[in-house]
Amino acid sequence: MEKIIDKIKFPETWKPCKISKLGKVFKGKGISKAEILDSGLACIRYGEIYSKYGYKVDGTHSFINKDSASKSQEIKYGDILFTGSGETAEEIGKAVAYIGREQAYAGGDIIILRPNEPDSGLFYGYLMNSDYVVQQKFQEAQGQSVVHLYGKSMDRIKVILPPLPEQQKIATILSKWDELIETQTQLIEEKEKQKKGLMQKLLTGEVRFPGFEEGWEVYKIKDLFNLIAGKDLLPKHYSTTRTETHKYPLYSNSLTNNGLYGYYDISQISKNKITVTARGTIGIAKARKKPFNAMGRLLVLDPKKELNIDYCTEYINEQIEVFIESTGVPQLTAPAFSNYQIIIPSFKEQSRIASLLLAIDEEIQSLKDKLEAIKLQKKGLMQQLLTGKIRVKI
């Protein structure tokens, strides 16, 4: 642990301290998924620390009743909540500061630090996610398939603390960046909501562009497309190092060709097709405009007639009612999907609708790119502020 700290030059006025000395360390308890309500007493479950929160919590997403609360652990303003388990050592121990004023509770697998100085809680929320603290948590993590971080680890993890006024100024600066991130996130959500509302009207013909009066036709998927099933990889196709270059990329529901080579049993597909996820997250359609390989997690739709694949992709994503066959793992099969109905206007109207929706997609992507840039800038500033490379004026 000492080596990590020794590699960083901190200001002389900053003082080293073990996390356990910053306050009282104890554990959350209780709160199963079945106990979660839409309203009631505020609560935080450990999985939500990864998925729903940044480095601070001032309002929760989940709630429980009084009976569940009586078996759980109450948290207070300024408490720091650490995830006590995770799938990898790298992600273990993510921390959030609870800065809400309402009564709230923490579920199991959460380690709680109640600071001696509650007003330092927000600063600690950022500090516990700094690179040098994360590295120490990584070294403390134990386990194989599920990795754990225990409360006793807080006795071995060190932080370097600036004076209280500097802590508060750093926390204020980083909070402003969080507000900017939140605003940008809300812009994206609003734009996506606008697109969804517009899609529902355009893809059903409720709203039409001037100059288009032809009736729309109803088809089954099998009347418009040949369905091609992707092929699963055999173990011999997996490699941890790149040994050869392949002409076409590999697509699954979430995979590209990183680390997967030797496409001997994979369907090679030409361009201008649609892929639909058949397992995992079912029914997500994507337009593929370049040649590619498809794994068994995908169904490939090969147009039989002139179709705008962007229009068809948007239609499937918006309107599909997923057909699931229960065979242990939920999946979408070609026979089931082939009978799904799709409404098709003329090719020109398809293209006009697709053009507008793609333009909105570009706006959304631009907003997302800006959000990632803001997050990256904030992360860099955060590391420099929390190690004293950049000093704040008090």
Confidence of residue 3 (pLDDT cuts 50, 70, 90): low
And the tokens for 204?
């059903």
Question: Three-state SS string across 306-335, please?
Answer: CCCHHHHHHHHHHHCCCCCECCCCCECCHH
**Percentage of the chain modeled with pLDDT above 70:** 81
pLDDT tens for each residue of 100-135: 999 999 999 899 999 998 889 999 999 999 999 988
Whether the CB-CB separation of 277 and 259 falls below 8 Å is answered with: no
Q: In the predicted model, what is the mean pLDDT of the chain?
A: 84
- Please give the class, per CATH, of domain 218-344: alpha beta
> Which pLDDT does position 145 carry in this prediction?
52
* CATH number for the segment(s) 2-161: 3.90.220.20
How confident is the model at residue 298, as a pLDDT? 81
**Number of Cα atoms under 13 Å in the Cβ half of residue 298:** 30
Q: Tens digit of pLDDT for each residue in 306-325?
A: 999 999 999 998 887 655 55
Mean pLDDT of the 39-64 span: 93
Domains 2-161 and 162-216+346-394 share a fold: no
The tally of CA atoms less than 13 A away on the side-chain side of residue 334 is: 15
Give the pLDDT band (50/70/90) at residue 265.
Answer: very low
| Three-class DSSP labels, 212-242 | CCCCCEEEEHHHHEEEEECCCCCHHHECCCC
How much is the pLDDT for 334? 83
Place of tokens 């948007």: 314
Q: What is the pTM of this model?
A: 0.79
Q: What is the pLDDT of residues 72-89, one digit of tens each?
A: 999 999 999 998 877 666
Q: What residues does each domain of the chain span?
A: 2-161, 162-216+346-394, 218-344
Least confident window among 4-18, 137-151, 367-381 = 137-151
Average pLDDT of 289-303? 79
Domain 162-216+346-394, CATH homologous superfamily name and number: Bipartite methylase S protein (1.10.287.1120)
pLDDT category at 345 given cuts 50, 70, 90 is: very high
